[in-house]
Structure 1
Amino acid sequence: MSTWSGSVRELTALFSALRRARHPNPGHAAQLHARLLVSAGARPHPHPVLLTQLISLYAAAGLLADALRAFRAHLPSANPRTYAVLVSALARPRPGLAFSLFSASRREFRPTSPHLISAALAACAGLRPLCSLQVHACAAKAVPPGDVFVYTGMVDAYAKAGEMASSRKVFDEMTSRVVASWNALLVGYARSQMCFEALSVFRELAAQGREVSLDQVSVSSVLSACAVAGALDFGRQVHACAAKLGLELSAVCVSNALLDMYTRCGCSRESLAMLNAVDCRDVVTWNIIIRGCIHDNRFREACVLFRSMLRNGTLPDDMSLATALQASACMSAWALGASMHASAVKAGFLDSDGVASSLITMYSKCGCLDDARRAFEGAEDHLYVMSWTAMITALQQHGRGMQAIDVFEKMLENGIPPDHITFVSVLSSCSHSGLVEQGRKYFNSMTQDHNIKPWTEHYACMVDMFGRAGLLGEAKQFIDQMRVRPDASVLGALLASCMSFRDLEMGKEVAKKLFVIEPGNTGNYVLLANIYASHGRLEEAKEVRRWMMFYELRKEKGCSLFNNESRTCTL
């Protein structure tokens, strides 16, 4: 027995030493596994402590399949700590399996240990909210309310599942909190774009004083909320806090968040000052600067900055390429976009849905539908909703409505759920192709099959579809039955149809509503005047144009945005 105990101590020391290595050698894990079996002698299974350490070593070496095999082979030796180590290792790559192991451990060991509950909470981020509720029920029975570590994980799990009301409730019930508890709630609000709630939590956290100190996670998260909400004044106050704490330039995530906040709020002077003050620019810094240029329609400058990033030795990520491709698409710069395509291939980013969708959009806007199709087909096995939507939109914009619908049907067959933008393109395709019945079917399927609440754009597409088919009465009836008040895009589509089919009475009625909604839009006056003129009522048409002169409205001259020089722009 003493020999066995000595062997356990020896192997425990070996496991600990290997696990502390920065990159554990996979071969060492297998060798120690063999040594473990030899040391067990006549015993059918190794000591529970050694089994736990073996699984931990396999997980640290990235050999999750071997860790699972060792666990299943020696299941009788597993204790709650063994389950906790394996559940923690599987939480991110295979959350479903991790939660199944947690459920199995509950049948085996009662009460559930806090370590195991914490490991299961990490898996809940990739699962349904119901899983968080089940773990919460276990924690309520087995873990005292004062366990900050477990209940902070609970706040974080609910927040990652989008259940912010439950997250706040758990947070409020905690008897003691640390900065990680506050950060979990704050990050959850920021990620859910509940920006004003995030600002309120930050105020509460800042009021704690020395009890709980702010850190870079708190500051960067609230700055992200300020950027989304456009809360510039509050953001400046947070900037002052960051400067007092020494986080303004020492923490890259904080300096990037400040740069992003000032860029999104349109403060070019402050964003330039932040950019000049930052010594270390990582890829996130460059992405923020490039995105800011695109936001201000400075597309050529965005491409120049992308080139500067490459020359600076900063490797682009998928976000960098997607953003730069967006700039080249806006300039219709085919050569520039094609060179970025080559960079994406070299860097292995074609699997990224953002890069693939940006490539499709870029080629489509450059008038190269065949290239867009090849980019789509080249990455079809890795595509998600963004890329499918980009291809459907490209076909629709090039007048290939039937092909766009075929791609949409193929998307549904592949099990890819459509989003709001997908349906805008599909309904627009039905409108331009005269497919009224199919358009009705897709519009109804939005709410019935996909639980998508229609936007104004969807209503406008339907009105345009009815109008193009000459069904003006049905278009009018559709508007009257809308659950939301029709805006200018919906009524504008109906007015354009009244012009096409010379419906004067309905045109006058719709135009009067539009004059109230957008009195400065000259297009509505021109359409009404043309409807009058088409009926030979020239005096009424002149009267409409006199209204335009009275309100000092002028129809803008047509112009082309195409720039031949931009097609030759290269990196």
Structure 2
Amino acid sequence: MSASSGSVRELTALLSALRRARHPSPAHAAQLHARLVVSAGARPHPVLLTQLVSLYAAAGRLADALRALRAHLAAANLRTYAVLVSALARPHPGLAFSLFAGACRGLRLGPHLVSAVLAACAGLPPLCGRQVHARAAKAVPPRDVFVYTGLVDAYAKAGDMAASRKVFDEMPCPGAASWNTLLVGYARNKMCLEALSVFRELAGQGREVPLDQVSVSGVLSACSSAGTVDFGRQVHACAAKVGLELGAVCVSNALLDMYARCGCSREALVLFDAMDCRDVITWNVVICACIHESCFKEACILFQSMVRDGVLPDDVSYATALQASACLLSWALGASIHASVIKTGFLDSDGVASSLITMYSKCGSLGDALQAFEVAEDHFCVMSWTAMITALQQNGHGLQAVDMFEKMLEHGIPPDHITFVSVLSSCSHSGLVEQGRKYFNLMTQVHKITPSTEHYACMVDMFGRAGLLSEAKQFIDQMRVKPDASVLGALLSACMNCRDLEMGEEVAKKLFVIEPGNTGNYVLLANIYTSHGRLEKAKEVRKWMRFQELRKEKGCSLVNDESQTSML
């Protein structure tokens, strides 16, 4: 039995009204579903079914929406499938793709359904995007800008920028959204020069495709990653010309970030002072810039200025402020930020938790660091575990750091490259050579982490401290990368520890070429000569230092004056 036209109009009006509600009621949806079945039977009108599915989806009842579709499958049309595929695309991309495949078997494909499933392709293997493209090519012409822009985006999110560019080039008249999608795709895939090239093409379009916030912000992100500040200044001029410099906060933030990351802190501060509208991202960028320039006190002052201006800090704000207080060795300031973190509910943030551990550790309060770790431990975050292992290692508790690393493995948390730097350093300073070998093999063979020069330097230092100089030299000879100053510096220290003059001279000569201004290398060589009674040679090295106007930094201890930071 089919519903009368009056019943269809009545139910359509009711479903539409509920769907437009700010918080659709699942109970109302269920009641209307029952009424729909009573009045329309097993085959309701497709419009009614589509609106019912849409209502369930808007109410968050995706399972009910799926059941409604399957119960009345014969009445479903392309729009019904498109509504449900769109709702499932992000939370359940695999299910969304399966529905799309089912619709393709019984219905003629349309642009709405293709656009809906393309959003799911970002969470699926690249092959799924290619399958959608193959079906779309048969049913949707390239002039459909919306669908083909979605394909450009799908390929870009899959990391296949060659296919993304090919789809873009097939479009007869790409619009601003298409250009922006291609440009942002290159930027996100770290293909910065290609992103700059696309921006040049876009800027050459003149009035046909005007620059907007997305295109300018996207190319500035590429400039930041590539360090091309000169091109960034040209983009700045273009943005000012079209009124985007200070009129759009996202563009201002991108400009600020570009100048800060390219080392142009003065230009960043000038722009920051000129900005009328500042959001939390604006403040975060300028605070991070201060930390990058080692202006830690200024970073803390800016953090408090942000709070006074009524801008609520986010997890990034708190993490950077804690980093600044750690560098200032200000326990009082860090503890006050900790109190604000608890009040605002950001204690669950992985970045904030690890920053708290690091702050307390650097301030010499290992007990507070352990308490902060225990609060964050339930989250099983590699950042918190790594911060605690590093805290123990830097405070001279190498054995405890190794035990903490073993507990981390027992909890099933995969360590990252920073974790291995800390644990290898702990093995080095604690004389745990066999443990160090085991962890290095664990890193490369089990966790498939490619060793960096930091890992190699830790291993060489470990062998040197244990008196295994020949093993340290053999280890360097087997490295897959050319040893840098950190690795050779560790070997030179090993030569000093093992009193090997011949190798020490050879390594020192290489270091004098790589980093001629590092006084530590000259001092180490002079000490090696002295330990062998070669006093004249040691004097020659020190004379050569004076000739180059190199002076050894005097040893000092850092004493924190809380009165200087309590007013921040």
- After superposition, the C-alpha distances for 1:8-49 in whole angstroms (9 at most, x for unaligned) are 22222333334344x2x332x531431232243261354332
Give 1:316's aligned residue.
Answer: 313
Give 1:8's aligned residue.
Answer: 8
- After superposition, the C-alpha distances for 1:254-287 in whole angstroms (9 at most, x for unaligned) are 1111222223334344333322332221111111
Contact 2:78 2:107 in 1 (8 A): no
Q: Calculate percent identity across the aligned residue pairs.
A: 77
Distance of aligned partners of 1:391 and 1:46 in 2 relative to their CA distance in 1, 3 Å threshold: farther
Give 1:67's aligned residue.
Answer: 65
Give 2:92's aligned residue.
Answer: 94
2:119, 2:544 → 1: CA distance? 65
Per the TM alignment, residue 562 of structure 1 is displaced from its structure 2 partner at its CA by 3.5
Q: Secondary structure at the match of 2:177?
A: helix
Distance of aligned partners of 1:240 and 1:170 in 2 relative to their CA distance in 1, 3 Å threshold: same
Give 2:281's aligned residue.
Answer: 284
Report the more deviating stretch, 334-343 or 394-403: 394-403
Per the TM alignment, residue 100 of structure 1 is displaced from its structure 2 partner at its CA by 4.1
Aligned counterpart in structure 1 of residue 327 of structure 2, from 304, 327, 330: 330
1:374, 1:537 → 2: CA distance? 52
Q: Where do residues 495-506 of structure 1 align in structure 2 (5 Å cutoff)? A: 495-506=492-503
Q: Where do residues 391-406 of structure 1 align in structure 2 (5 Å cutoff)? A: 391-406=388-403
Contact 1:335 1:567 in 2 (8 A): no
1:126 aligns to 2:123 (yes or no): yes
- After superposition, the C-alpha distances for 1:266-316 in whole angstroms (9 at most, x for unaligned) are 434433332233222111111112112111111111111111111111111
Distance of aligned partners of 1:551 and 1:356 in 2 relative to their CA distance in 1, 3 Å threshold: same
Q: Where do residues 550-561 of structure 1 align in structure 2 (5 Å cutoff)? A: 550-561=547-558
Identify unmatched segments of 5+ residues in structure 2.
Answer: none
Contact 2:492 2:508 in 1 (8 A): yes
2:213, 2:488 → 1: CA distance? 49
2:266, 2:511 → 1: CA distance? 39
Contact 1:336 1:567 in 2 (8 A): no
- After superposition, the C-alpha distances for 1:52-93 in whole angstroms (9 at most, x for unaligned) are 212222333444454345445555544432232222122223
Per the TM alignment, residue 51 of structure 1 is displaced from its structure 2 partner at its CA by 2.5
Q: Secondary structure at the match of 1:302?
A: helix
Distance of aligned partners of 1:457 and 1:357 in 2 relative to their CA distance in 1, 3 Å threshold: same
Q: Where do residues 535-546 of structure 1 align in structure 2 (5 Å cutoff)? A: 535-546=532-543
Paired letter, 2:426: S
Per the TM alignment, residue 555 of structure 1 is displaced from its structure 2 partner at its CA by 0.8
1:246 aligns to 2:243 (yes or no): yes
Q: Secondary structure at the match of 1:554?
A: coil
Report the more deviating stretch, 500-509 or 387-396: 387-396
Paired letter, 2:7: S
Query: Structure 1 length normalisation: TM-score?
Result: 0.92
Contact 1:463 1:494 in 2 (8 A): yes
How well do the aligned residues superpose, as a CA RMSD in angstroms?
2.4
Distance of aligned partners of 1:263 and 1:14 in 2 relative to their CA distance in 1, 3 Å threshold: same
Distance of aligned partners of 1:76 and 1:214 in 2 relative to their CA distance in 1, 3 Å threshold: same
Per the TM alignment, residue 331 of structure 1 is displaced from its structure 2 partner at its CA by 0.8
Per the TM alignment, residue 338 of structure 1 is displaced from its structure 2 partner at its CA by 1.5
Aligned counterpart in structure 2 of residue 178 of structure 1, from 161, 175, 179: 175
Distance of aligned partners of 1:430 and 1:136 in 2 relative to their CA distance in 1, 3 Å threshold: farther
Give 1:160's aligned residue.
Answer: 157
Identify unmatched segments of 5+ residues in structure 1.
Answer: none
Contact 1:334 1:567 in 2 (8 A): no
Contact 1:339 1:570 in 2 (8 A): no
Give 1:83's aligned residue.
Answer: 81
Give 2:368's aligned residue.
Answer: 371
Aligned counterpart in structure 2 of residue 208 of structure 1, from 201, 205, 209: 205
Q: Where do residues 40-51 of structure 1 align in structure 2 (5 Å cutoff)? A: 40-41=37-38, 43-44=41-42, 46-51=44-49
Distance of aligned partners of 1:194 and 1:569 in 2 relative to their CA distance in 1, 3 Å threshold: farther
Per the TM alignment, residue 387 of structure 1 is displaced from its structure 2 partner at its CA by 2.4
Paired letter, 1:331: L
Paired letter, 2:358: T
Paired letter, 1:129: P
Per the TM alignment, residue 2 of structure 1 is displaced from its structure 2 partner at its CA by 7.8
- After superposition, the C-alpha distances for 1:299-341 in whole angstroms (9 at most, x for unaligned) are 1111111111111111111111111111111111112111212
1:74, 1:382 → 2: CA distance? 43
Q: Secondary structure at the match of 1:200?
A: helix
Per the TM alignment, residue 215 of structure 1 is displaced from its structure 2 partner at its CA by 0.9
Give 1:53's aligned residue.
Answer: 51
1:513, 1:350 → 2: CA distance? 48
Contact 2:329 2:362 in 1 (8 A): yes
Give 2:17's aligned residue.
Answer: 17
Contact 2:265 2:289 in 1 (8 A): no
